[in-house]
Structure 1
Amino acid sequence: MRALLITAPGEAEVREVPAPRAHGGEVVVEVEQAGVCGTDMELFHGTLSYIRDGFTTFPIRPGHEWCGRVRSVGAGVNHALVGQRVIADTMLGCRRCARCRAGRHHLCAIRTEIGIRGDQPGALAERLVVPAWALHPIPEVLSPAAGALVEPGGTALRAVRAAGLTGGEEVLVLGGGTIGLLCAAFAAVSGARVTVADPRPEGLALAGRYGAAAVAVDDLPDEPAFEVVVDASGAAESPARGVQLTEPGGRLVLVGLPGQPAMIDSRELVFGDLTVSGLLGASAGLEGAIVWYAAGEVVPDDLVAAVVGLAEIPDVLRGVRPAGAGPGPKIHVQPTRHG
């Protein structure tokens, strides 16, 4: 089968690799559609902290935002799964440690992450193997784009849940990328009044479609103005700006991952009596994202600017935007597409 490999920092190519086989407890999924994530870009450039810390080594087969159909099953797996449309949890814990047994497998110290951490090949390929326990069925009503956006949707939904919205709050989302716009969408359908801030005009172009007002970061006030701030920007200065803009007694949710350490003055948290949450991964939000998407309450399809084949992904990782791409922040791949 064909798969994308990142062979070294700044080097990626599509290769023919052995087709995967399902062993006990596993399934082989034929990938319908997959997304290229900012994490994949960091893997390509060699800047992801997992590489520095030794959790991930080259070559890497990336891709963790995807949907597909079960093609075959290994021993001990129900054959009724064959043909089922699915996504899977990216975070694969050991299932034995205290964190895993408590339902926090996404924090397992020895976890692998599909296409990111460890040796679990990702979905920028025609097929991939995943443990059957990590699967989540998705309905036929979901478009391929929506299916492949369940993973970022799960992360965004977790962020909005952490905000504890009851309706009517003034919410600021810092960052108009995929996660930020999905945070805005989930907050809006929860009854909040949402503003999305981004320094880039393209990051604000879709805010209105997801129920949010749009504002340039430089036009934000210098004093507290929002009961809830969600930082989904990935900018190192953004968490501190979030503290500055959160009303006393309010909530700050951190879901963006800066490429370098982000500094917050803890005294401002104390004096503001702020509740701060940091979130890793989509695991606990996947089922909810599927439900919201299937109900049509949040329709993420406009986030996809273009759908390309595997052969175009090396250029996408280098920052080349496909010809004719729309305003959305996300590039998707149909791995079986040729030409």
Structure 2
Amino acid sequence: MTTETTTRTASSVPVAPGSRRTMRAACTVSKETIRYEERPVPVPGPGQALLRIETVTLCGTDLHIWEDDYATELPMVQGHEFCGVIEELPDPHPGLAVGDRVAVSPILACGSCHACSIGRANACDRMSVYGCYDVEGALTELMALPVTKLFPLPEALPAHLASLCEPASIAMQAVNRGRPVAGEKALVLGSGPIGLLCTLYLTSLGVEVVAADTLSARCALAREFGAVDTVLIDPAVPFPVPHHTELLTTWTGGHGPSLVFEATGAPASLNNALRTVATAGRVVAVGISDREVSFSMRTLPVKDIDLIGSRNSQELIGEAAELLARHPRQAEALITHRFPFDQVAEAFETMRSATGTVGKVAVDMPGAAA
């Protein structure tokens, strides 16, 4: 782990008016190396606002980038889950004003690929993502951002929780892809942040949820997010969920859950989902990894299963903010560690040594409200 400090000169980069001419950015310059750089303050162009970043939360993708184990080319300023306060708004925009606290949708879609042409820019073939692909992210004091990517926060949502809108929007997208119906029964495999947020949203829609995880602490947390029961999985058993047939059989009247969410990215977990789901049920895969999975070619057609992928969200940041505002206690429970901006490397180290007690890790930026 390395942290450096340097000054970056870029005389050709436009500078915002006023007395302040530079800002600090935490740049991942190489494997496990963060360098703090002095950079010019950006000037918002047409259709943009200048945002003072308040909070950035980190996810597994961020950890992989820091470890140089991701498709992103370094150096890169990371951070794609973030919120802030509008400092400058050169062009009037309905619903936005200087001083507004906003959450940010980090996806920039091409607008011309097949996915974009059918209204699914969340799966754009050529997308850029702040802090992940092509465009630098939010571990910096100020950013110039398109106003169309800014979503005002409800007053009931504390600013220090607003960076959770991005992961909450991913969970909501996954749930929406599953076409839930109030009163049906859903199994959520994995009670990390995305699985927990899926559970929270499902229960808010009137769906009855059983959640599963390999850690008892996470199972307990799933109950706080609305799960009516939980399954503690033994990871040593290749396909453990079907072993809990008594619980699931009783709960579903012998049919199996009609809707299953795979939120771990583990191949065995997807197999569990396919084995457990009811005939003619739906399985939504939102967990991501590079590991390969195999199952019998009989599985999908014989059970007539809808196997559905889910990626990012279709600009659900505003809806996610409303969900979190209605459930602030659960949102607070998601963030288990906070670090100041000067300790970004320590934040990543904490994520790497994660145990069941590590949930979302937040970085409080210099401009964060006290």
- If the length of structure 2 is used for normalisation, what is the TM-score? 0.80
Q: 2:172 aligns to what?
A: 157
What is the CA–CA distance in structure 2 between the aligned matches of 1:20 and 1:294, rounded to whole Å?
A: 31
Q: 1:221 aligns to what?
A: 242
Q: Alpha-carbon deviation of 1:297?
A: 8.6
Please list, as runs of the form range in 1=range in 2, the aligned pairs for 1:305-316 lying within 5 A after superposition.
305-316=336-347
Answer whether contact 1:158 1:284 (CA < 8 A) is retained: no
Answer whether contact 1:44 1:317 (CA < 8 A) is retained: yes
Q: Alpha-carbon deviation of 1:198?
A: 1.4
Q: 1:100 aligns to what?
A: 116
The structure-2 alpha-carbon separation of the partners of 1:259 and 1:14, relative to structure 1 and needing over 3 Å to count, comes to: farther
What is the CA–CA distance in structure 2 between the aligned matches of 1:321 and 1:292, rounded to whole Å?
A: 29
What is the CA–CA distance in structure 1 between the aligned matches of 2:356 and 2:191, rounded to whole Å?
A: 15
Q: Residue 331 of structure 1 aligns to a residue in which SS? A: strand
Residue 46 (structure 2) pairs with residue 14 (structure 1):
no
Q: Which stretch shows the higher mean deviation, 282-291 or 226-235?
A: 282-291
Specify which of 174, 197, 200 is matched with residue 212 of structure 2.
197
Q: Residue 185 of structure 1 aligns to a residue in which SS? A: helix
Cα RMSD after superposing both structures: 2.6
Specify which of 51, 58, 66 is matched with residue 44 of structure 1.
66
Residue 293 (structure 2) pairs with residue 258 (structure 1):
no
Residue 364 (structure 2) pairs with residue 334 (structure 1):
yes
What are the Cα deviations for residues 186-221 of structure 1, in whole angstroms up to 9, with x where unaligned?
A: 112222221221113343241111011332223632
Residue 231 (structure 2) pairs with residue 210 (structure 1):
no
What are the Cα deviations for residues 149-172 of structure 1, in whole angstroms up to 9, with x where unaligned?
A: 111111111111222222232211
Answer whether contact 2:190 2:262 (CA < 8 A) is retained: yes
What is the CA–CA distance in structure 1 between the aligned matches of 2:257 and 2:199, rounded to whole Å?
A: 14
The structure-2 alpha-carbon separation of the partners of 1:156 and 1:82, relative to structure 1 and needing over 3 Å to count, comes to: same
What is the CA–CA distance in structure 2 between the aligned matches of 1:132 and 1:98, rounded to whole Å?
A: 25
Answer whether contact 1:85 1:140 (CA < 8 A) is retained: no
Query: Gaps spanning 5+ residues in structure 2: where?
Result: 1-22, 235-239, 246-254
What amino acid does structure 1 have at the position aligned with 2:268? E
Please list, as runs of the form range in 1=range in 2, the aligned pairs for 1:37-116 lying within 5 A after superposition.
37-48=59-70, 51=71, 56-74=72-90, 76=91, 78=93, 81-96=97-112, 99-116=115-132
Q: 1:237 aligns to what?
A: 268
Q: Which stretch shows the higher mean deviation, 38-47 or 124-133?
A: 124-133
Q: 1:304 aligns to what?
A: 335
Query: Gaps spanning 5+ residues in structure 1: where?
Result: none
What is the CA–CA distance in structure 2 between the aligned matches of 1:38 and 1:320, rounded to whole Å?
A: 8
The structure-2 alpha-carbon separation of the partners of 1:193 and 1:132, relative to structure 1 and needing over 3 Å to count, comes to: same
The structure-2 alpha-carbon separation of the partners of 1:190 and 1:150, relative to structure 1 and needing over 3 Å to count, comes to: same
Q: Residue 12 of structure 1 aligns to a residue in which SS? A: strand
Q: Alpha-carbon deviation of 1:142?
A: 0.8
The structure-2 alpha-carbon separation of the partners of 1:297 and 1:207, relative to structure 1 and needing over 3 Å to count, comes to: same
Q: Alpha-carbon deviation of 1:96?
A: 5.0
The structure-2 alpha-carbon separation of the partners of 1:291 and 1:320, relative to structure 1 and needing over 3 Å to count, comes to: closer
What is the CA–CA distance in structure 1 between the aligned matches of 2:285 and 2:344, rounded to whole Å?
A: 29
Answer whether contact 1:205 1:327 (CA < 8 A) is retained: no
Q: Alpha-carbon deviation of 1:252?
A: 0.2
Structure 1 or 2, whichever has the larger Rg, is 2
- If the length of structure 1 is used for normalisation, what is the TM-score? 0.87
The structure-2 alpha-carbon separation of the partners of 1:158 and 1:70, relative to structure 1 and needing over 3 Å to count, comes to: same
What is the CA–CA distance in structure 2 between the aligned matches of 1:320 and 1:285, rounded to whole Å?
A: 26
Specify which of 141, 148, 153 is matched with residue 138 of structure 1.
153
Q: Residue 138 of structure 2 aligns to a residue in which SS? A: coil
The structure-2 alpha-carbon separation of the partners of 1:232 and 1:296, relative to structure 1 and needing over 3 Å to count, comes to: same
Q: Residue 76 of structure 2 aligns to a residue in which SS? A: coil
Residue 51 (structure 2) pairs with residue 29 (structure 1):
yes
Alignment length, in residue pairs?
Answer: 328
The structure-2 alpha-carbon separation of the partners of 1:157 and 1:320, relative to structure 1 and needing over 3 Å to count, comes to: closer
